[in-house]
Amino acid sequence: MGLNTFPYELLRILATLFFLVIVVYGYFYVKHHKKERTRIIVTEVAILVVLLWIAFFAGKVTTGHPSLFYFGHTQGPFEYGPELPLLSSIDFLKNMGRFEKVEEIGYDPSLVPAPIDRDHSEHISIDLEAVEVIGEVTDGTTFNYWTFNKQVPGPLIRVRVGDTVTVNLKNAMSSLHTHSVDFHATTGPGGGAKVLQVPPGETKSLTWKALAPGVYIYHCASKHSVGAHNAHGQYGLIVVEPEEGYSKVDKEFYVVQGELYTRGNTGDRGLVAFDSQAMLDERPNYVIFNGRVKSLNGRMKASVGDTVRIFVGNAGVAKISSFHVIGEIFDNVHHEGGTLINHNVQSTVVPAGGATIVEFDLEVPGDYILVDHSLARMDKGAWGVLSVDGEENHEIFKSHEAESSETDSPH
Ligand SMILES: [Cu+2]
């Protein structure tokens, strides 16, 4: 399977330049061949076209560049000014060859570290690498993701309350941008991001103590738009287990909702560019679980009789998730990832930059679809399948069609 990385953005740039050349050529042609009146009309049209062109690109930012404003100024905490249209696109296209193309951008939801089995605190060392890559959002559509360890979300990290954690953040030599990490489980300036601003090719470290149990987002928080780094895929979850640990379950999964803001429409083919105006407008083209469309499918499997736990995060950057599993009721929800546990919940709110734990028993086999119950987002990719095998339980769920076909069968 080859990744479709055709840079349609390049066509956009060429078309724009060609359009301008035509306008200029038309102007000079008319100047030398037509009468005065026509020349004035053409001049006016040309000026109008240029103005329309500026209006079209004003406020848009293209592939991969964290600056957001062409003709405006951020009102955020970090100062940066306007830049010329298309420059960031050209910069990206110039450097496209340096980005690794990853076959699987979506982190496997079944890869969860084993529960912690110790009764004392330890010093844990975590290595994260910020890598800018090209990965597949959906069939035929690729995007310049910024990642921790080349997948989205970054790895699920599991520690115990009271542990001391040393984070070594390396930024790959191939990166175009400074990256960082803010652990919501950390107490201190920037959740670590203040210290861990790492330019390409460098490594920085920070040691912090896990003071409170829970499930926490970590994400890149680099200056020049923290939101843009999140919207390129730089986030993950860290679980800080309570002293007594969590209850024993049969299967644990790791799911993080995120958003992608791309130029053009949902489902456009080829290498699609980042659209910062769409991000500022909070209008994602993709809302996805684990980095890409259908990332969970075929990788979340359980059996009837299992108790399942899902660590659910929501990276945002804009939308609140109404997390729901179609055909199931959560027996336990660790509300917002904290110590309050609610029971018998259909959908639970996961705020942007928040997380939760849901637990449920499986009584009936079949496919269970995980969604953000803002259901229009399903069409943007916000769904995934938990496949459950095992014996039917007709006391709990019985299809009348199944009944008649069973009667017909020789069995
Ligand atoms: Cu970053």
Query: pLDDT, tens digit, for every residue of 230-256?
Result: 999 999 999 999 999 999 999 999 999
Residue 256 in tokens: 């993080």
Give the mean pLDDT of 117-132: 97
Residue 64 clears pLDDT 70, i.e. is over it = no
Residue 173 clears pLDDT 60, i.e. is over it = yes
Distance between Cα 180 and ligand 1 center (Å): 6
Which residue from 162, 154, 217, 207 is spatially nearest to 185, judged by alpha carbons?
A: 217
| 310 contacts 396 by C-beta, under 8 angstroms | no
Distance between Cα 104 and ligand 1 center (Å): 20
Dihedral sign for Cα 329, 331, 336, 340, please: positive
Q: Confidence band (pLDDT; 50, 70, 90) for 409?
A: very low
Distance between Cα 171 and ligand 1 center (Å): 9
Q: Determine the longest span between alpha carbons in the chain, in angstroms.
A: 92
C-alpha 111/C-alpha 279 separation (Å) is 30
* pLDDT for the residue numbered 278: 86
- Per DSSP (E only), the strands in 28-77 are none
| 196 contacts 220 by C-beta, under 8 angstroms | no
Distance between Cα 22 and ligand 1 center (Å): 40
For residues 136 and 27, the model is more confident at 136
Q: Confidence band (pLDDT; 50, 70, 90) for 84?
A: low
Q: What number of other Cβ atoms are within 10 A of residue 97's Cβ? A: 7
Between the alpha carbon of residue 192 and those of residues 215, 237, 290, the distances in Å are 17, 15, 24
* pLDDT for the residue numbered 126: 97
Share above pLDDT 90 across residues of the chain, in percent, rounded to a whole number? 64
C-alpha 197/C-alpha 338 separation (Å) is 29
Give the mean pLDDT of 309-326: 98
Residue 404 clears pLDDT 70, i.e. is over it = no
C-alpha 338/C-alpha 349 separation (Å) is 13
Q: 3-state class of 280 per DSSP?
A: helix
Q: Confidence band (pLDDT; 50, 70, 90) for 61?
A: very low
Distance between Cα 88 and ligand 1 center (Å): 16
Give the angle subtended at the CA of 48 by the CAs of 43 and 54, to the nearest 5°: 130
pTM: 0.85
- Per DSSP (E only), the strands in 243-329 are 251-260, 270-272, 286-289, 301-303, 307-314, 321-325
| pLDDT tens digits, one per residue of 324-371 | 999 999 999 999 999 999 999 999 999 999 999 999 999 999 999 999
For residues 226 and 158, the model is more confident at 158
For 259-311, where are the alpha helices, taking DSSP H only?
Answer: 276-280
Distance between Cα 220 and ligand 1 center (Å): 5
Which residue from 395, 386, 346 is spatially nearest to 366, judged by alpha carbons?
A: 386
Residue 82 clears pLDDT 70, i.e. is over it = no
Distance between Cα 316 and ligand 1 center (Å): 15
In which residue are the tokens 């970054």 written? 154
* pLDDT for the residue numbered 23: 72
Q: Confidence band (pLDDT; 50, 70, 90) for 192?
A: confident
Distance between Cα 173 and ligand 1 center (Å): 14
Residue 112 in tokens: 């969860």
Dihedral sign for Cα 298, 300, 301, 304, please: negative
Mean of pLDDT over the chain: 87
| pLDDT tens digits, one per residue of 141-166 | 999 999 999 999 999 999 999 999 99
Say which residues have a Cβ less than 8 Å from residue 289's Cβ, sequence separation at least 6. 109, 255, 256, 257, 258, 295, 296, 370, 381, 382, 383, 384
* Amino acid (1-letter code) at residue 11: L
Distance between Cα 222 and ligand 1 center (Å): 5
Distance between Cα 273 and ligand 1 center (Å): 17
Q: Confidence band (pLDDT; 50, 70, 90) for 174?
A: very high
* pLDDT for the residue numbered 410: 45
Distance between Cα 219 and ligand 1 center (Å): 8
133's enclosing H/E stretch is strand 123-138
Distance between Cα 206 and ligand 1 center (Å): 17
* pLDDT for the residue numbered 89: 67
Distance between Cα 176 and ligand 1 center (Å): 10
Distance between Cα 260 and ligand 1 center (Å): 15
Residue 123 clears pLDDT 70, i.e. is over it = yes
Residue 38 in tokens: 């026509």
Distance between Cα 227 and ligand 1 center (Å): 9
Question: 157-196: b or e for each residue (b if 16 or more CB lie within 10 Å)?
Answer: bbbbbbbebebebbbbeebbbbbbbbbbbbeeebbbbebb
Residue 79 clears pLDDT 90, i.e. is over it = no
Give the mean pLDDT of 369-385: 98
For residues 184 and 27, the model is more confident at 184
Distance between Cα 184 and ligand 1 center (Å): 16
Distance between Cα 141 and ligand 1 center (Å): 22
| pLDDT tens digits, one per residue of 11-59 | 667 767 777 776 777 777 777 776 666 776 777 677 667 766 665 554 3
Q: Confidence band (pLDDT; 50, 70, 90) for 391?
A: very high
Residue 390 clears pLDDT 80, i.e. is over it = yes
C-alpha 195/C-alpha 177 separation (Å) is 16
For residues 73 and 232, the model is more confident at 232
Distance between Cα 105 and ligand 1 center (Å): 16
Distance between Cα 177 and ligand 1 center (Å): 7
